[in-house]
Amino acid sequence: MELAVSMGWLESVALAGVRMTAFVFIAPPFSYNAFPARIKAMLAAGLALAVAPRVSPGYVQHDFGGFVLALILEVAVGAALGFLVYLVFAAVQSAGGLIDMFGGFQMAQGFDPQSMINGAQFARLFHITAIALLFASGGYQLIIGGLARSFEALPVGAGIDLTIPAEMMVNGVTQMFLAAVQIAGPLLVVLFLADAGLGLLTRVAPALNAFALGFPLKILLTVTLSAVVFVVMPTVVSSLTGEAVGLLTGVR
């Protein structure tokens, strides 16, 4: 019994696997460091085999130099797509950072080896919550589906026009900060009003040392009102997932 394997099929699957691997190591929720690197590599290989019927038809086999160049291009494409998805979901983490800053938790920040950032409690809590919601709601499947559809817009070995993802990254950074302010906005307004009230109280009665009393007050307000943010978190993650899928399928 002989098993004939086309070299063109192997090349196309290998190029798809390189794009998948670069994407998985950068894009959430797969980039979380709690997942071992070998699991990420196995996931990328499995996804590459799954999209083989989509990428292998019409693939033109390269020589050795052309294949190496195609590998480099696929790394760039996968990294660019993964970074676009990372920018979208960084809004949740940035919202937690804003709450930490306004609530006074920023003074207790530390290095998080899972997300590889310096952040305080709410930044890490929001990040973990977003990842949990992505897996619980099946949002990660939509992201994988968007990545699979990217092979229609960007066939393997065809390269990418870097001007389009660069423009999308610039717009993505702007939208990330806007989304972060929108997510944490209600709580930030309350904390700002608390600071303003403490300032007026200090002017009226300096002996009360209102700013010393302000730390426990702001912590109480932050912990209590953060429940409002968590109530809308599933809707926020769902909206961000749709935006991430739109970015994956919109790159040309």
In which band, very low, low, confident or very high, does the pLDDT at 233 lie, cut at 50, 70 and 90?
A: confident
- Whether the per-residue pLDDT at 120 is higher than 70: the answer is no
- Whether the per-residue pLDDT at 116 is higher than 70: the answer is no
Mean pLDDT (whole number) for 181-195: 80
What φ, ψ does residue 119 adopt, rounded to 5°?
-155, 160
What pLDDT, on the 0 to 100 scale, is given for residue 1?
45
Say if residue 252 is exposed, middle or buried (CB neighbours under 10 Å; 0-12, 13-18, 19+): exposed
Round the average pLDDT of the chain to a whole number and report it: 79
Asked if residue 27 lies in contact with residue 81, where contact means CB atoms within 8 angstroms, the answer is yes
pTM: 0.78
Q: What is the pLDDT of residues 129-182, one digit of tens each?
A: 888 888 888 888 888 888 888 887 777 766 666 666 677 777 777 777 778 887
What pLDDT, on the 0 to 100 scale, is given for residue 162?
64
Distance of CA 60 to the CA centre of its chain: 33
Structure tokens at 223: 């912990």
Beta-carbon contacts of residue 252 (< 8 Å; ≥ 6 apart)? 153, 154, 161, 164
What pLDDT, on the 0 to 100 scale, is given for residue 252?
55
What pLDDT, on the 0 to 100 scale, is given for residue 148?
85
Q: What is the pLDDT of residues 32-88, one digit of tens each?
A: 887 888 888 888 888 888 888 888 777 777 777 777 888 888 888 888 888 888 888
Residue in the structure block whose two tokens are 């200090």: 202
In whole angstroms, give the CA distance from residue 159 to residue 185.
Answer: 40
Q: Answer with the residue of higher pLDDT: 9 or 44.
A: 44
Mean pLDDT (whole number) for 95-124: 72
Per DSSP, 60 falls in state P
Beta-carbon contacts of residue 171 (< 8 Å; ≥ 6 apart)? none
What residues does each domain of the chain span?
Answer: 7-250
Structure tokens at 133: 């919601």
Instruction: Give percent of the chain with pLDDT exceeding 90.
Output: 0
